[in-house]
Amino acid sequence: MKRFENKVAFITGGNSGIGKAAAILIAREGAKVVVAYLSEDREALKEIAAEGGEVKFVQCDVSKAENVEKAVNETIAAFGSLDVALNNAGIVDSSYIHEKSLEEWHKVLNVNLSGVFYCMKFQIEQMRKQPSGGSIVNMGSIMSQVSEVGIGSYASSKHGLIGLTKVAALENATSNIRVNAIGPGYIETPLLMNNSASSNEYRTYMESKHAMKRLGKPEEIAKAFLFLASNDASFCTGAYLPVDGGYLIQ
């Protein structure tokens, strides 16, 4: 039997990068997948559906609580439960603190931190109604542990996400709901490569930050998600799992 047979997975930012890789792999493992994203990408949905599972798109701006509540409700209406969640949607900033606009600060925090709070609030409400509980995985970052110049909003949001993950894990540990976080290093995703303009010089710099001297693949993070979401990690909650090619050990 596949690990996620008869399970329903809800994935934010599931149209590209890590989110899409996660959706494809969990569909392959038998899950029904709900992709929550700002706009529909029919090609991404076809790729996910090609793995044999049912897939549904729900429009969702995670920075708006009412959008998230509606997306979770649509998930339940379509499939009857919510067993696995990957809160993956995120954006980055690129300016020094003293130059950062208030708009930029709030935009990043609203998506990366408040958005995860909104998602967990409504996901947990549903999972507490289910005898089977559920598993939530939040997408952190190496910047949940360290930082770099110019990403004050991003680093703050990802540090805060780990605290939020731990509190949620504590509050739900006896309700059969596990909450964990992943900390990717630099991964070959559209978000990263578009920001770096894919220059050879910048790519070499990013690779050099990792002990393995390469960037990660979205599928490598997706496999970590599948582990944390599955019963293979049944005694694991409140954890931060770095999947960073040795970035943090240097």
pLDDT for position 156: 98
Calpha distance 95→131 (Å, rounded): 46
pLDDT tens column, 96-142: 999 999 999 999 999 999 999 999 999 999 999 999 999 999 999 99
Q: How many domains does the chain have?
A: 1
Q: Which residue has the tokens 């050879």?
A: 200
Q: What is the phi/psi pair of residue 106, to 5°?
A: -70, -35
192 found inside a domain: no
165 found inside a domain: yes
Active-site option among 37, 118, 154, 186: 154
* Mean pLDDT, range 169-175, rounded to an integer: 98
pLDDT for position 205: 87
CATH number assigned to the domain comprising residue 108: 3.40.50.720
pLDDT for position 221: 98
Q: What is the DSSP letter of 232?
A: G
pLDDT tens column, 16-75: 999 999 999 999 999 999 999 998 888 899 999 998 879 999 999 999 999 999 999 999
pLDDT for position 58: 96
pLDDT for position 216: 97
Helix (H) or strand (E) holding 168: helix 152-172
3 found inside a domain: no
* Mean pLDDT, range 194-209, rounded to an integer: 76
Strands, sheet with 8-12, edge to edge from the N-terminal-most edge strand: 55-59, 32-37, 8-12, 84-87, 134-139, 177-184, 240-243
Q: Report angle CA 17, 22, 24 to the nearest 5 degrees.
A: 100
207 found inside a domain: no
134 found inside a domain: yes
Host domain of residue 132: 8-184+218-249
57 found inside a domain: yes
Q: What is the phi/psi pair of residue 199, to 5°?
A: -70, 145
pLDDT classification of 148: cutoffs 50, 70, 90: very high
202 found inside a domain: no
pTM: 0.95
pLDDT classification of 191: cutoffs 50, 70, 90: low
pLDDT classification of 200: cutoffs 50, 70, 90: confident
Would you call 247 a catalytic residue per the annotation?
no
pLDDT tens column, 202-225: 888 889 999 999 999 999 999 999
Please say if the pLDDT value at position 197 is more than 70.
no
b/e per residue, 117-129, with b = 16+ CB within 10 A? bbbbebbbebbee
* Mean pLDDT, range 85-98, rounded to an integer: 95
**Percentage of the chain modeled with pLDDT above 70:** 96
199 found inside a domain: no
pLDDT for position 180: 98
pLDDT for position 102: 97
Please say if the pLDDT value at position 173 is more than 60.
yes
* Mean pLDDT, range 80-100, rounded to an integer: 96
